[in-house]
Amino acid sequence: MTMKRKSWQDYQKEIADDHYYYARSCIRQNFFPGSEKLFIDMLRNDLGKDLSDDPKHSSCTGIGYHSDIVPLETIMTVVARQFALMGEVGYENLVTSCITSFGVYTEILATWHEFPETEEKTRENLWKATRREFKKPASLAHTSDVVFHFREEIAARAKKRLVNAATGEPLKVVEHIGCHYAKIFPKSGIGGSEFPYVLAGMVESWGGECVDYPERRHCCGFGFRNYLVQANRGYSIANSHKKLESMAPYKPDFIVANCPGCAMFLDKWQYAIAEMEGTTYGQNGHGIPVLTYEEMAGLVLGYDPWELGMQMHQVDVEPLLDKMGVEYDPAAKYLGRNGKYIGKPESAVVNCCPTDTIYDIRE
């Protein structure tokens, strides 16, 4: 008997086409604030979709929950309040920016399904605390799901492609999937844990080529207890080190991740490893640029890299911009929104740019 080999299509899920209630991420606001803004601009302005950016919503408290600080009953009530706020403004399709939030919402909905008494207790707690009631979302998606869903529409509007402008060859891309997206509830992610395709689909639609390497599905080592407890951070950097060592021989042009923690650690641990061991993993002795999927989409759509917030990265992105033929102003990299020079980090071996950049400090 011949068994049919499964692929990512066997794990496909329905994604709403419009009318999204957007739940921002507490840590992404600090790591990559330009990415969340770009998601809103891209959905509204480029794709013409309706999206609610409600200032009343809060953190899901997922970090506290996974660190055994916030009890299950508390986080259920917090999430129920998010659902209530969504209903109050007339939406039913929840889209969340954070991988951990996506995992938390998925876990809570599954718990309520398996144990209805926990849902009833949550409704009681929410009413006592806020005098609110809620309906469960008709659709729950991560923001990377939505970008994947519209990847062909983005490709049709592309100003640039994930292609080396000088050679015409596809860029080599390492795609990294957050654990809380694919490994907790595999059926809730595009492609599941075996064939996660949410980022690979974007890369392929926009002209790039995914790098397959031995540690492709290895965790970045983010782990909340690993970064909250200083003594544990060696576990985190060891995981990222293992991935970087594994991917380096394939000479990727950049890394893209759909988890804010993964993108941050794969970027900044390169600096730490370079300082500790003198080892770098990119070409020409520098680091490998690390992007969020919104930044990747933004470059394809022709957004200015500094408006996307790409100067927030530890590893300079200019080598990637040059390969893609992206036009940018080097003198605008560290100018604030008011045009004032905000300063720049000290030069590091993972960076590629000259240390004597002259900035146009506008009055």
pLDDT value at residue 354: 61
Q: How far is CA 205 from CA 150, 283, 321, 353, in A?
A: 10, 25, 19, 30
Residues 50 and 124 sit within 8 Å (Cβ to Cβ): no
- What mean pLDDT is predicted for residues 273-285? 92
Confidence band (pLDDT; 50, 70, 90) for 183?
confident
- What mean pLDDT is predicted for residues 176-185? 88
pLDDT value at residue 145: 96
CA pair distance 119, 158, nearest whole angstrom: 44
pLDDT value at residue 27: 80
Residues 76 and 46 sit within 8 Å (Cβ to Cβ): no
Confidence band (pLDDT; 50, 70, 90) for 355?
low
- What mean pLDDT is predicted for residues 279-295? 94
Confidence band (pLDDT; 50, 70, 90) for 12?
low
pLDDT 10s digits, 94-132: 999 999 999 999 999 999 999 999 999 999 999 999 999
CA pair distance 82, 15, nearest whole angstrom: 19
Percent of the chain with pLDDT over 90: 71
Confidence band (pLDDT; 50, 70, 90) for 363?
very low
For the chain, the first-to-last Cα distance in angstroms comes to 75
- What mean pLDDT is predicted for residues 17-26? 94
Residues 342 and 335 sit within 8 Å (Cβ to Cβ): yes
pLDDT value at residue 360: 47
CA pair distance 169, 214, nearest whole angstrom: 23
- What mean pLDDT is predicted for residues 299-324? 95
* 3-state class (DSSP) for residue 238: helix
CA pair distance 304, 8, nearest whole angstrom: 33
CA pair distance 275, 332, nearest whole angstrom: 27
Percent of the chain with pLDDT over 70: 94
**Helix/strand/coil percent split, the chain, to 5:** 45, 10, 45
Mean pLDDT, all residues of the chain: 90
Nearest to 322 by CA among 286, 349, 346, 280: 286
Residues 119 and 125 sit within 8 Å (Cβ to Cβ): no
pLDDT 10s digits, 63-80: 889 888 999 999 999 999
* 3-state class (DSSP) for residue 23: strand
- What mean pLDDT is predicted for residues 281-292? 94
CA pair distance 347, 331, nearest whole angstrom: 16
**358: its two tokens:** 């002259």
Residue 11 has pLDDT above 90, yes or no: no
CA pair distance 105, 98, nearest whole angstrom: 11
Residue 321 has pLDDT above 90, yes or no: yes
Residues 136 and 79 sit within 8 Å (Cβ to Cβ): no
Residue 148 has pLDDT above 80, yes or no: yes
CA pair distance 223, 227, nearest whole angstrom: 7
Residue with tokens 């399904």: 113
pLDDT 10s digits, 191-219: 888 889 999 999 999 999 999 999 999 88
